[in-house]
């Protein structure tokens, strides 16, 4: 136990401030306030891989590591769509995942925010829309509020994307 404590103290806090380009921090502050106002400080995200290669998943994991610490913005990942505020979808939507994605979306309560994450989610990426096994991009299947490009997007781009959904979504709050 002592060794664990010593290691924790030795490493210390490594969480970094977000990149400051393009007034991003300001956006962060704004939307953190929005999460606080609309979701009582906690935004629950349901994650669905609709056909990804697992690259995007690694970067979503990274957004949870101590450097980025996405939880500090009040963002948490939930195991059920029933109490999720936002759906985070990766991958081109495969024909075998289409129904599961639709059912997950259906199971969510309003406002059903949706973020399409990565080039595949945005436009099917290298797998292509002219592919028998691909039903389409995420927006072809369910309504999408924001898109983050990248193959895969970096953890800071993911955080930025989540904050952007909050900004672009104009459903009655």
Contact region with other proteins (CB under 8 A), list: 22-30, 33-41, 126-134, 161-169: 126-134
User: Which residue's CB is nearer to other proteins, number 14 or number 21?
Assistant: 14
CA distances from 18 to 10, 27, 68, 117, 128 (A): 23, 11, 8, 19, 33
Phi then psi dihedrals of residue 157, to 5 deg: -65, -35
User: Which residue's CB is nearer to other proteins, number 14 or number 172?
Assistant: 14
Phi then psi dihedrals of residue 167, to 5 deg: -80, -35
Tokens describing residue 131: 């592919």
Chosen residue from 20, 76, 129, 168 binding other proteins by CB under 8 A: 129
Tokens describing residue 24: 């991003």
Tokens describing residue 53: 């290669």
Long-range contacts of 168-171 (CB under 8 A, 24+ apart): 169/111, 169/113, 169/145, 171/110, 171/111, 171/112
Closest by CA to 15, choosing from 89, 66, 49, is: 66
Q: Which 44-103 positions form the footprint of other proteins (CB under 8 A)?
A: 47-62, 64-67, 77, 79-80, 91-92, 94-97, 99-100
Phi then psi dihedrals of residue 53, to 5 deg: -90, 0
Q: Which 135-164 positions form the footprint of other proteins (CB under 8 A)?
A: 135-136, 151-152, 154
Q: Does 15 bind other proteins (CB under 8 A)?
A: no
Contact region with other proteins (CB under 8 A), list: 19-27, 30-38, 132-140, 158-166: 132-140
Q: Does 130 bind other proteins (CB under 8 A)?
A: yes
Q: Does 19 bind other proteins (CB under 8 A)?
A: no
User: Which residue's CB is nearer to other proteins, number 36 or number 69?
Assistant: 69
Q: How many residues bind other proteins (CB under 8 A)?
A: 53
The binding site for other proteins (CB under 8 A) comprises: 3-4, 7-8, 11, 14, 47-62, 64-67, 77, 79-80, 91-92, 94-97, 99-100, 104, 125-136, 151-152, 154
């Amino acid at each position: 136990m002592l060794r664990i404590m010593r290691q924790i103290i030795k490493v210390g806090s490594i969480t970094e401030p977000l990149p400051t380009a393009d007034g991003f921090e300001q956006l962060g502050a704004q939307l953190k306030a929005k999460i606080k106002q609309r979701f009582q400080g906690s935004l629950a995200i349901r994650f669905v891989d609709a056909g990804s290669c697992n690259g995007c998943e690694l970067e979503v994991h990274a957004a949870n590591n101590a450097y980025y610490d996405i939880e500090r913005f009040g963002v948490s990942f939930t195991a059920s769509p029933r109490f999720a505020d936002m759906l985070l979808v990766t991958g081109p939507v495969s024909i075998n995942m289409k129904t599961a994605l639709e059912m997950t979306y259906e199971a969510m309560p309003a406002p059903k925010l949706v973020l399409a994450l990565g080039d595949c989610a945005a436009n099917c990426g290298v797998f292509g829309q002219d592919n028998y096994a691909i039903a389409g991009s995420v927006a072809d299947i369910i309504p999408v509020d924001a898109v983050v490009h990248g193959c895969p997007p970096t953890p800071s781009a993911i955080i930025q994307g989540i904050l952007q959904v909050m900004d672009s979504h104009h459903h009655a709050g």
